[in-house]
């Protein structure tokens, strides 16, 4: 009622203001027109003119019968005995001589002011102020009504709702994660025909947690489940529950589940659930914050005093270690489905899915691309084909060729190709570094095979690189010999600098290689038990404060053991470094030839690199270089 009366009063004020404004405008225009009507034109050729001094002379001569003074325009309208028309004379602001002359000669005079521009400006200013006042009041009223509406909807859920789950994705569009698809196929069956399971006493699972690295297809899988089941689909991100105001997140959780119950059976997808489901009572500030209240409400809704029949929660995260244990127990998330990086066959299936709408050349081999991309996620593979299509369009080709695919892989992994370097000492130095890496790699039996080496610079300051094809059979299960060979290969660039240019000419180009060496050597000593210190894990990498661990990290070994760790790390690095130098010293002529060839071509593929090593013969009388 108060709001309606306020609106009615505002409409009355607006109407009265408009009426007053129109009346003032009309009166001002009438005054202006009347004033303008009384002011004759000054520039008429047939009208006689008088100066101020001539006017005084006429007054003294008694030829003036009447004078009308206009102080606003500084004019005197003079009526002469000999003239029928009135003559206008320009006068000053103050005219004491004129007044004395008029009085002395008993001439009738008076004063009349015409409408001035200042009066009109005053009227227009008042009118403008009235209009601004009315506009301001209307804006305040409108904003208050909007704020009221927002306050009423602030605790509402922001979940996107699709009644018929038209996600446009089904299981045929998801490849590379066949094991996860098989597990989630049962969820589709639960949603379509629940009586098939309830007749045997089975309960529909409350929730399914998808765990996997970024880009492995967790969100795509949730859309495919909704598309296959054809049930109402709610989707929301975990960050959309939490606000700075207390109680808003819990209110949104309640509203989301209320809507889901009204549309059961349905599917609720919560992406990035770790934003709201982190472990409670952790961190520096302790426990009772808005995020924890939201999590408490979510726990209650998923498995509290009420049952949520027909509502299946699917959540996705890449950080299961930070989730609260109460959220992971059976009854809330009954199933945890691991969505791993795709294998060779999985990558091939993903490439086939994303190649449907791409125009590929007949020489493009998807199997070869799959073999060259171990460790790529589904999003990475989709990005590779998309970058290949962009490069094809930029080069004005009709179809994607193997060259565009190789360039796209390099662009995704190491960056955009820049203009080649000019012939200089820097270019030759980079060539020796990359050949050092590649030559050492080809001489070590436990190292992964070389893919290619190049000195074409890349975005991000990378002067060149040497890539390799990881062995998928041992991925994730690396031996001590393999790690030592990786360290030796990483030190091949620095070893080449020292062998060719001397210790005083080494550069900072090996800084990233040294960081990698230190990291691998430390893990060998402190985590993998691959040193003389024994089978001990001396460090715990997952000791974050926000996970409920100690505020200050606790040292897990004594100072004496720390000294031994440093010594072991240094011994590993120096042993591998000397091995790399020995390999390059024994094959110095071969290294020089490879550097000359690399400077000429700027890129050497792995097969060609190995063929050159196998065919090259050192000076007569020496043995043939070892081939792979």
Task: Indicate the angle between helix axes 96-104 and 52-61, nearest 10 degrees.
Answer: 20
Give dist(CA 340, CA 338) in Å, integer. 6
The active-site residue, picked from 228, 272, 301, 434, is 434
- Number of H helices and E strands in the chain, helices first, is 21, 13
Give dist(CA 421, CA 379) in Å, integer. 33
> Residues 111, 125: contact at Cβ < 8 Å?
no
Active-site residue flag, 434: yes
Give dist(CA 392, CA 379) in Å, integer. 20
Q: How many CB atoms lie within 10 A of CB 452?
A: 20
> Residues 227, 192: contact at Cβ < 8 Å?
no
> Residues 616, 593: contact at Cβ < 8 Å?
yes
* Cβ-based burial of 168 (10 A; exposed 0-12, middle 13-18, buried ≥19): exposed
* CB burial readout 174-211, b (16+ within 10 A) else e: bbbbeebbeebeebbebbeebeeeeeeeeebbbbbbbb
439 contact partners, CB below 8 Å, separation of at least 6: 492, 583, 584, 587, 590, 591, 594, 613
Give dist(CA 9, CA 47) in Å, integer. 59
> Residues 341, 318: contact at Cβ < 8 Å?
no
Instruction: Give catalytic residues, as residue numbers.
Output: 434
């Amino acid at each position: 009622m108060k709001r309606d009366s306020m609106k009615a009063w505002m409409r009355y004020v607006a109407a009265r203001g408009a009426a007053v404004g129109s009346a003032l405008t009309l009166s001002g225009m009438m005054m202006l027109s009347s004033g303008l009507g009384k002011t004759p034109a000054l520039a008429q050729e047939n009208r006689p003119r008088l100066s101020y001094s001539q006017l005084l002379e006429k007054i003294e001569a008694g030829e003036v019968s009447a004078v009308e003074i206009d102080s606003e325009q500084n004019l005197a309208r003079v009526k002469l005995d000999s003239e029928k028309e009135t003559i206008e004379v320009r006068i000053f602001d103050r005219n004491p001589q004129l007044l004395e002359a008029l009085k002395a000669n008993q001439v009738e005079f008076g004063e009349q002011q015409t409408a001035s521009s200042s009066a009109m400006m005053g009227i227009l200013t008042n009118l403008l102020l009235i209009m601004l006042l009315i506009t301001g009041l209307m804006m305040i009223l409108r904003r208050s009504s909007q704020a009221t509406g927002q306050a009423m909807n602030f605790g509402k859920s922001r979940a996107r709702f699709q009644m018929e789950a038209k996600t446009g994705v089904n299981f045929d569009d998801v490849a590379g994660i066949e094991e996860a698809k098989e597990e989630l196929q049962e969820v589709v069956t639960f949603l379509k025909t629940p009586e098939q399971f309830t007749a045997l006493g089975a309960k529909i699972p409350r929730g399914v947690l998808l765990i996997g690295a970024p880009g492995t297809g967790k969100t795509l899988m949730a859309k495919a489940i909704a598309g296959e089941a054809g049930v109402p689909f709610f989707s929301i991100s975990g960050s959309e529950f939490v606000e700075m105001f207390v109680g808003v997140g819990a209110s949104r959780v309640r509203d989301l589940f209320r809507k889901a119950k009204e549309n059961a059976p349905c599917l609720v997808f919560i992406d990035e659930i770790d934003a709201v489901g982190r472990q409670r009572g952790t961190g520096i500030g302790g426990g009772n914050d808005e995020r924890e209240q939201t999590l408490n409400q979510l726990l209650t809704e998923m498995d509290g005093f009420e049952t949520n029949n027909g509502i299946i929660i699917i959540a996705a995260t890449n950080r299961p270690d930070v989730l609260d244990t109460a959220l992971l127990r059976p009854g809330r998330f009954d199933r945890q489905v691991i969505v791993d990086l795709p294998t060779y066959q999985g990558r091939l299936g993903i490439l086939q899915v994303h190649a449907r709408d791409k125009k590929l050349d007949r020489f493009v081999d998807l199997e070869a691309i799959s073999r060259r991309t171990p460790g790529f996620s589904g999003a990475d593979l989709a990005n590779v084909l998309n970058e290949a299509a962009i490069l094809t369009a930029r080069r004005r080709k009709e179809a994607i060729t193997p060259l565009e695919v190789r360039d796209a892989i390099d662009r995704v992994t190491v960056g955009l190709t820049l203009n080649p370097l000019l012939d200089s000492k820097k270019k030759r130095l980079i060539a020796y570094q990359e050949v050092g890496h590649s030559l050492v790699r080809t001489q070590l039996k436990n190292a992964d095979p070389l893919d290619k080496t190049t000195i074409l610079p890349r975005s991000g300051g990378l002067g060149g690189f040497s890539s390799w094809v990881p062995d998928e059979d041992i991925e994730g299960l690396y031996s001590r010999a393999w790690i030592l060979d990786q360290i030796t290969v990483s030190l091949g660039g620095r070893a080449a600098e020292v062998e060719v240019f001397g210790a005083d000419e080494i550069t900072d180009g090996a800084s990233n290689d040294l960081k990698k060496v230190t990291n691998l050597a430390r893990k060998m000593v402190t985590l993998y038990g691959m040193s003389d210190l024994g089978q001990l894990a001396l460090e715990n990498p997952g000791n974050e404060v926000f996970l409920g661990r100690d505020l200050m990290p606790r040292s897990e070994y004594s100072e004496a053991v720390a000294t031994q760790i440093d010594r072991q790390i240094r011994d590993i690095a120096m042993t591998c470094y000397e091995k790399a130098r020995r390999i390059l010293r024994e094959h110095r002529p071969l290294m020089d030839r490879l550097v000359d060839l690399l400077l000429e071509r700027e890129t050497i593929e792995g097969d060609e690199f190995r063929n050159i090593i196998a065919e090259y013969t050192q000076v007569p009388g020496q043995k043939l270089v070892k081939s792979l």
